[in-house]
Every structure is written in structure tokens, then in C-alpha cells.
Amino acid sequence: MSGEVVIAHIGVAARPQSRVADVPARIALLGTGTVGSAVLARLAGWDGTRLGERLSLHYVANSRFGFRPASTAEAAARAVSGVASHAPPSLDAVAVALGTQGTRIVIDATASEAVTERHAAWLADGIHVVTACKLGQGTSLARWHEIREACALGGTRYGDSATVGAGLPLLRSIRALQAGGDRIHAIAGVLSGSLAWLFNHYDGLRPFSGFVRQARDAGYTEPDPRDDLSGEDVRRKILILARAAGVALDSAAVEVDSLVPQALAALSAADVDAALPELDAPMRERFADAYKRGEKLRFIARLEDGRARVGLQSLPADHPLAGGAGTDNRVAIWSDRYDRQPLVIQGPGAGAGVTAAGLLDDALEIVARG
């Protein structure tokens, strides 16, 4: 994999603004955590601008409360302060708040199974869904089909750019290659922003658990960091990419090599933090082995010949997938046209700002297409 074509990604290419509606699209935002707060901040920054005129916020909820905001700025302030009406969140309230006319979009910035279970119904009812949550397309194949069918029924779109690569142009590149007649032969790379950050920072001297806490506090991990460390988040991402590439993989078909020791896996979420040092000894050993060979640890996902594998690998320092910094994802795609030298896409793969931008890019694209 030498001399690859590299897309150094900054933002998304300009799209044709064919039919921008006069009436703003009605938006419901679910989740006001790391990503949802950044969505609110970005929207508030658009107040009074051309972009702000296209999206109008009608409902905001998190796991504690739900409300209809008077303005985006007010919604951002209430979500940050935690002060809101005493109304509990209600998924039934979403469709009511969005009404029945015009372009309606749910932005899902949760990691919630209950919210994901509503995606297909909203889509079938004519409400578009834009999501950062991977549970819709990255779990069972049956659910993936259900979402496709609901989109066809409702004439709606499922914005998924933020589900893999936190908005990097991965899914859109795979789809563009296919639209141009290419078959996708293989995909390999680093798909986890938090694991990339961890293995870019871990030095084998300070405890690995301390770095996990830092990655969590920076907003890179899933709400439960075991979802990253177990490879589950990467499993979901390679499933989403595989399915977009035309490989109908079921979840169980992905071989996953977890980093989470049994004792940590068995704990309730509340007990995880105290038990994170369980990771330290095994990680120190793996780091030392790699270090002796002059290699780097990287958490790699591979899809080839209809099979997928996910796990930690020790790679030569000059290996094409060993590069990158911070939370960088680095993904190589082989297709008919990129058959010897892959297309390589690299850039930040986790973080509030990029993920929120990816969500709102998808929402604006839906508005532009009408």
C-alpha cells in the first residue's frame, strides 16, 4: 500500500444548492451531551445568517427533559445550564413538535437504543433522520434493511455521515465510487478516534487507564468507554461501511478482538471507572512487545473477501496505517479504479466540533435537495 492517493480532508466539498426551501426545515434535536451541545452551539452561531435561515429548531431533549425552544440561543443556554421546563423527554412529542408540513428532520445525537428504535417509524412518516448514533445501521442487518425500506416508503433520507469518521467523507466516497461504476474490493484502517488518540499518546510508562480517562473527559469515547475498548464501536463502523459498499454482513460475521478484560466487561457502568486499572498490565505488555520491534500499536478494522476483522495490531512505524496524529482516522479503500494504490482518507475521527458539523452538513443537504 505505497504511494497512495490521499484526501487531506477539511470540510465537505460544496454541493449544488439546487432547491433551497423558502420555509426553514423544522428540526428536533435529541441529545445535548458532547455532540448535541456542539450542534446547538453551531446552530446558535448561524443565527441571522443564510445557513441559519434554513433550519428552525422546534424540539430539544436529553434523557432528563424535553422542551420547545423559543430560539436556538435559548435552547443552547438551557441545555448548557441544565435548567429547563420540568417536562420529561418524550419521543412521542418529537413528531407533534415537527408538525406535518414542510421538511422535518430529527437530529439524533444520542447513543440511545430507544431513540434508534424510532428511526424507521419517523422515516416512514416523512420525517428525515440525521444521526451520529451507529445503532441504526451498525447492528443487525434486519434493522439496516428496515431503515432502507422506511426511507423508500416515506420518501426520506437517512443522514449518516457522522456515524463513521465523525463526518469525514468516508461513506460519501464509497457511495460516489459505486455511483461511478466501481466495485469496492477492500477497506482497512483506523476507525476509532478515541483508540487512535489512546495509541498516539500511550507511552508504556504512565498507566493506560489514565489515558482512557483523559479520552473520555475530552469527549472522544462513547458514553461507556468499554464500547470503544471492546471493539464494539469499530465493529459497528466497519458494518456500516461494509453495507454501504454492498457487502451484506451480519453483526456476528465480524471477528472482534476486545481489549477489555473479562473482569471489567462484567461490571455495571457505574463501577467501570474504578476498575479501569485492570487494563494497565495487559496494555503495558502489548506496548513493550511492539516497542522492542520498533512498531506501533494501532486498532485496525479490515473488510476483504466478504469478511471483516477488528483488533489491535502491531505495525511497523512506516506502515501506511500507522500514520496520523491525535484522533485521526486513516482509512484505505481499494476499488476497481484504486486497485493497486488505495484511496486513503485521513482526518479527525472523534470530537464534538467535527461530529456536529457532519450532522448539520447532512441536515443542510436534505434541505438543499428538498
Ligand X SMILES: NC(=O)C1=CN([C@@H]2O[C@H](COP(=O)(O)OP(=O)(O)OC[C@H]3O[C@@H](n4cnc5c(N)ncnc54)[C@H](O)[C@@H]3O)[C@@H](O)[C@H]2O)C=CC1
Instruction: Name the residue nearer to ligand X (CB basis): 122 or 338.
Output: 122
Of residues 234, 209, 207, the one with CA closest to residue 313: 234
Please identify which residue in the block is written with the cell numbers 506496548.
Answer: 287
Q: H or E stretch including 78?
A: helix 72-81
Binding flag, residue 349, ligand LTNE7NMQ (CB under 6 A): yes
Instruction: Name the residue nearer to ligand X (CB basis): 79 or 290.
Output: 79
Q: Can you tell me the distance from the alpha carbon of 29 to that of 35, in angstroms, rounded to the nearest whole number?
A: 11
Q: Name every residue whose Cβ is closer than 8 Å to that of residue 344 and which is 6 or more positions away in sequence.
A: 4, 5, 6, 7, 189, 320, 330, 331, 332, 333
Partner whose binding site includes residue 212, from ligand LTNE7NMQ, ligand X, none (CB under 5 to 8 Å by kind): none
Question: What track of x and - describes contact with ligand LTNE7NMQ for positions 144 through 183 (by CB under 6 A)?
Answer: ----------------------x-----------------
The answer to whether the beta carbons of residues 171 and 160 sit under 8 Å apart is: yes
Pairing of strands 158-159, 128-131: parallel
Binding footprint of ligand X, residue count (CB under 6 A): 30
**Which one among 98, 106, 133, 360 touches ligand X, defined by CB under 6 A?**
133
Rg of the chain on CA atoms, in Å: 21
What is the side-by-side order of every strand in the sheet holding 104-108? 66-67, 55-61, 25-30, 104-108, 128-131, 158-159
Instruction: Give ∠ CA 306-308-312 in degrees, rounded to 5.
Output: 160
Question: What track of x and - describes contact with ligand X for positions 88 through 117 (by CB under 6 A)?
Answer: -x-------------------xxxx-xx--
Full DSSP string of 14-41: --------SSPEEEEEE--SHHHHHHHH
Question: What track of x and - describes contact with ligand LTNE7NMQ for positions 230 through 269 (by CB under 6 A)?
Answer: ---x------------------------------------
| Three cell numbers, residue 354 | 467535527
Site for ligand X in 205-224 (CB under 6 A): 219-220, 222-223
Partner whose binding site includes residue 133, from ligand LTNE7NMQ, ligand X, none (CB under 5 to 8 Å by kind): ligand X
Binding flag, residue 192, ligand X (CB under 6 A): no
Binding flag, residue 131, ligand LTNE7NMQ (CB under 6 A): no
Angle subtended by helix axes 34-45 and 352-369, to nearest 10:
60
Residue in 134, 237, 292, 296 annotated catalytic: 237
Q: What minimum distance in Å lies between the beta carbon of 367 and ligand LTNE7NMQ?
A: 24
237 catalytic residue (yes or no): yes
Instruction: Name the residue nearer to ligand LTNE7NMQ (CB basis): 43 or 168.
Output: 168
Binding footprint of ligand LTNE7NMQ, residue count (CB under 6 A): 11
Binding flag, residue 112, ligand LTNE7NMQ (CB under 6 A): no
Partner whose binding site includes residue 109, from ligand X, ligand LTNE7NMQ, none (CB under 5 to 8 Å by kind): ligand X
Q: H or E stretch including 76?
A: helix 72-81
Site for ligand X in 10-39 (CB under 6 A): 30-36
Q: Can you tell me the distance from the alpha carbon of 156 to that of 154, in angstroms, rounded to the nearest whole number?
A: 5
Chain mean position to CA 134 = 6
Site for ligand X in 224-283 (CB under 6 A): none
Residue 178's φ and ψ, nearest 5 degrees, are -65, -40
Binding flag, residue 344, ligand X (CB under 6 A): no
Binding positions for ligand X, rule: CB under 6 A: 30-36, 61-63, 89, 109-112, 114-115, 132-134, 162, 166, 193, 219-220, 222-223, 350-351, 355
**Residues with catalytic annotation?**
237
